[in-house]
Amino acid sequence: MYIMTEISRETPTLTLSKVGHSYGSIDVLDDVSFDIRSGEVTAIIGPNGAGKTTLLKAIVGLHDPARGEIRYNGPAASRPIGYLQQHPAFRPGQTVKEAITFYGSLVDESELDADARLEQVGLTAAADRAVEDLSGGMTRLAGIAQATVGDPPLVVLDEPASGLDPGMSVRIFEVAEELTETGAAVLLSSHDLALVERTADRVLLLDDGTVARDGSPALICSELGVESLLDAFEAAISGEAGTVTVRGETA
């Protein structure tokens, strides 16, 4: 086996090889292999049901993939991977700041750090509000703040912009970009293709449980001979627009 002698910028933070997963008889992921590199925003796009959330959950370690291997190669850290789940939820009965401070205390962060994280996602004004009184979009912002606690070398965000207004969505993608400037790797899934096109260094187009395209937004567009990522999305995915492909059933 080839042994790496030095950890360089080229060493991927995360390596997936031939990852596969099934729910019962339904294959959700099939032979997925790719690397995540530090300092990059990698965006996973693809139709609903393509397996994005399943893949992210496997990376975070919420379930073991049935097949293949996922390996974290990034620097040692008290919290290697930060995670925003698709439907973030906080235990009721605490304020936003208390919630973030709680997660911070797990990695020796102070209340001041919590303030800074809330500031970064624009939630400072809501810091003292009870988490159960947040609107859907604000809950997601608090979830993003939670995902960055402890400065993990890999930040995984499952649909960070879903339910956010256009201004906030832009801001969240900017936050993702800021994270990579400090050397972190960001892996996110999104349906907002315009923002992905603007922000992502690399796009993985997931379709039918496999990686259908992999490359920079410009490369994918030129490969498919289209103008925008939205056109690429429509050209590359197997299902027809407006029909729901149901995996494992003959639709």
Partner 1 sequence: MSRFRGFGVVAWRELLTVVRTRSYLLLSAGLLLVFVGVLRVAGGIGGGYVPTAVDLLLPLELLVPLVAVALGYRAFSGENDDRPVLRTYPLSKSALVAGVFAGRFVGLAGIVGGPLVAVGLAVSQIGGPESRVFAVHHGVDSPILFVRFIALTLCFGAVVLAMAMAVSVLVRNSRAALAAALAVLVAVVAGGDLVALLGLSAGSISDDLLGTVLAVGPNAAYRGLVLESVVGVVTDRSNAINVPAAVFGLGGWLGVSLLIVWFGLDRRPALLLQNALDRARSLGLRRRLWARLRRRG
Partner 2 sequence: MSDRSVLRLDGVAKSFGTVDVLSDISVSIPAGELVAVIGPNGSGKTTLLRAIVGDLRPTGGSISYTGPDTNRPIGYLPQRPTFRSGFTAAETLAFYSALVDGAAPEILLERVGLEAAAGRNVENLSGGMRQLLGIAQAIVGDPPLVILDEPASGLDPNMSEYVFETAAEIASEDRTVLLSSHDLTLVEETADRVVVLHQGRVAASGTLETLSSRFGTDSLRGVLNAIVGDTARVSVLGGEQ
Chain residues in the site for partner 1 (CB under 8 A): 91-93, 132
Q: Closest approach of Cβ 186 to partner 2, in Å? A: 18
Q: Tell me whether residue 90 or residue 233 sits nearer to partner 1 (CB atom).
A: 90
Edge-first strand listing for the sheet containing 81-84: 81-84, 154-158, 185-189, 41-45, 202-207, 210-215
* Window 106 to 145, contacts with partner 2 (CB under 8 A): 122-126, 128-129, 133, 135-138, 141
Q: Which of 4, 6, 64, 167 binds partner 2 (CB under 8 A)?
A: 167
Strand 154-158 and strand 210-215: pairing?
unpaired
Q: Which of 80, 163, 183, 215 binds partner 2 (CB under 8 A)?
A: 163
Q: Tell me whether residue 135 or residue 222 sits nearer to partner 1 (CB atom).
A: 135
CA distance 188 to 200: 9
210: tokens are: 């496999």
| β-bridge mates for residue 228, sequence order | none
Closest among 222, 210, 226 to 54, alpha carbons compared: 210
Edge-first strand listing for the sheet containing 67-72: 26-36, 14-23, 67-72
Q: Which of 7, 18, 26, 223 binds partner 2 (CB under 8 A)?
A: 26
φ and ψ at residue 34, rounded to 5 degrees: -170, 165
Applying CB under 8 A, the residues found at the interface with partner 2 are 23-24, 26, 45-49, 53, 86-87, 122-126, 128-129, 133, 135-138, 141, 159, 162-171, 191, 193, 230, 233-234, 237, 239, 241-246, 249-251
